[in-house]
């Protein structure tokens, strides 16, 4: 998941930070491509706060896996 997508779920970096108990600055310093742990934290907080449904979370995970697979195939060429 990209950082921009995580922020979009919560509307702002500040709101995402509040949901995770982090500062807006900490969110700013995240990499553009989130780690699995960061993704799990974002998705968990989004479900807990009613920002997304479990079904929407599953779609996010599936889409992320597809994108990762595409990037991996591109590296092989």
pLDDT tens per residue, range 17-62: 999 999 999 999 999 999 999 999 999 999 999 999 999 999 988 8
Judge contact between 16 and 10, C-beta under 8 A. Answer: yes
Look at residue 9 and tell me whether its pLDDT is greater than 60.
Answer: yes
**Statement: the pTM of the whole predicted model exceeds 0.75:** yes
Specify the residue for token string 């934290």.
41
Roughly how many angstroms between the first and final C-alpha of the chain, as a whole number?
Answer: 23
pLDDT at 44: 97
Range of the domain at 69: 3-76
CATH of the domain at 10: 1.10.260
Q: How many domains is the chain built from?
A: 1
């Amino acid at each position: 998941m990209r950082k921009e997508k995580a922020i979009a779920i919560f509307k702002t970096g500040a709101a995402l930070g509040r949901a995770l108990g982090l500062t807006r600055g900490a969110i700013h310093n995240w990499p553009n491509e989130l780690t699995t742990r960061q993704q799990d934290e974002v998705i968990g907080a989004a479900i807990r706060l009613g920002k997304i449904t479990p079904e929407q979370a599953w779609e996010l995970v599936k889409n992320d896996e597809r994108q990762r697979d595409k990037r991996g195939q591109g590296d092989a060429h």
